[in-house]
Chain A
Amino acid sequence: MSDTYERLVQLLVKNFGFDTDEVAREDTFSKLELDSLALVELTLAVQQEFKIKLTDDDLDANDTMEQAVKVIESKPVVA
């Protein structure tokens, strides 16, 4: 069982001031009130945390956390 979801939640806790229990797998970024600037910020944090490369479009405001986990896990780890 991967820990991608938990690590993604921890990014929201560490960088965006969330409490762990404020985030659920079915929540969209829009519901979490992350605007476009925050999503770019999150994209940067995800790249650093998971050592992957994302495009600007990989995380969408209408994506759920669960969908984001799938996107992250689909990307190859870069050195």
Chain B
Amino acid sequence: MPGAAPFDAAITGIGMVTAAGIGTDTAWETIVTAEGTAASPVPALDGTPSAIGCWIPGYDPIQAIGRRRAWRFDRSSQFAITAAAEAVGDSGLDPSTWDGTRVAVVLGSGIGGAASWEKQHHVLLDDGPTSVSPLLIPMLAVNMSAGYVAMEHGARGPNLVTATACASGTTAIGTARELLRQGVCDVVITGGTEACLIPSIVAGFSQMGALTGRQDDPSAASRPFDADRDGFVPAEGAAVLVLERAADARARGARVYAHISGYGASADAHHATAPEPSGAGAELALRAALEDAALAPDTVDHVNAHGTSTPLNDAAESQLIRRVLGERPAVTSVKGVVGHSLGAAGAIEAAVTALTLDRQLVPPTANLDSQDPRIELDVVAKEARAATVEAAVSNSFGFGGQNAVLVFTRA
């Protein structure tokens, strides 16, 4: 909407389930210490050629969701339910009294319930079709995480899951903000979830050459922007935000972590998995997000980068940041700590960016021992940096050439 006043969506609640911790405060504490959380082998991947991953051994679905219900949900939905419960509780809103018809749920997920699908495929092959679980479809279908979150909180407004591969979480939050701007709801529970550290999916990424080869040194394997980076570390996790119109949040005296003030999306229209080398597609999304926020590119203080630790992504993304935003922003990638959780990544990074604005502290990029000399950016390494952050950008780029960028401003 060129010419329209910028629209601020207030982030009033955050919930996180990550390898860095379950719960927002625990996750943040680990992220600011920049310690890699990858493990090898991940039990579910043991015996496969690429068994490294950022998994969440401490997540107990029975404790989190209840023993009588947990079995019904795929792990990706379990994560979403847990993160959403934390976010809604954190927001101070009360689902027992809110008008549920005005509450939307928009989550992102790249793959959906792949672990349940893989398990039931074994059942199909071993025992035949009449032994397949009747819950396979609600466990597998990519939309179910949002459906279940709605059931948990009586959220009867628009409900959907966005699938733009590794940009899914960012696409979800951008779409959620549009629903608020359009006035079709007053509250949105939004974020992303992913849980597919399973042999078939990880083998697929491995076969395309996207993953790190550092099986024997897991905590150092995810090293965004480092000269010796060699691929991403697959991860699982979820993050959920509660968004409200800024005026509504102010009126009820809610604590606001940050505002989401701009969103841009685009497609490379180039290649299945490789980023368009000039970055022109991603640049469209970044410039659209800045325009949406009515922000000049040279006023951005901080970039929470996609920063996957793959040679191609980090090179292309750093050129984009340098070209559009210049040398000014302090750049970080939390994937050095939490790995790459695909459709959840953008949501986890949105949560971290909101906390960065709230706490005026930029988390460092883990394992950045020797910055790639071709990456001419101010990447925050080793230690968190206290900084004045008024405006920040979070990039996400997905296979399929799908790009999504959020702009955050200080509340």
Contacts and interface: CB of A to CB of B under 8 A. Distances in A.
A33 B67 CA distance: 13
A17 B60 CA distance: 13
Nearest to A34: B68
5 contacts: A17-B68, A17-B71, A38-B72, A44-B134, A48-B131
A15 B134 contact: no
Contacts of A47: 131
Nearest to A40: B134
A38 B138 CA distance: 12
Contacts of A44: 131, 133-134
A55 to B, nearest CB: 11
Interface residues of A, number: 13
B125 to A, nearest CB: 16
Interface of B: 62, 66-72, 131, 133-135, 138
A37 B71 contact: no
Contacts, number: 28
Majority secondary structure, A binding face: helix
Given A17-B67, A37-B134, A44-B131, 9 more contacts: A16-B71, A17-B66, A17-B68, A17-B70, A18-B67, A38-B72, A41-B134, A41-B135, A47-B131
Interface of A: 15-19, 33, 37-38, 40-41, 44, 47-48
A37 B138 CA distance: 10
Nearest to A53: B130
B113 to A, nearest CB: 15
Contacts of A19: 67
Contacts of B62: 17
Contacts of A15: 71
B134 to A, nearest CB: 4
A48 B128 CA distance: 12
A50 to B, nearest CB: 14
B75 to A, nearest CB: 15
Nearest to A35: B72
Contacts of B72: 37-38
Nearest to A18: B68
A47 B131 CA distance: 9
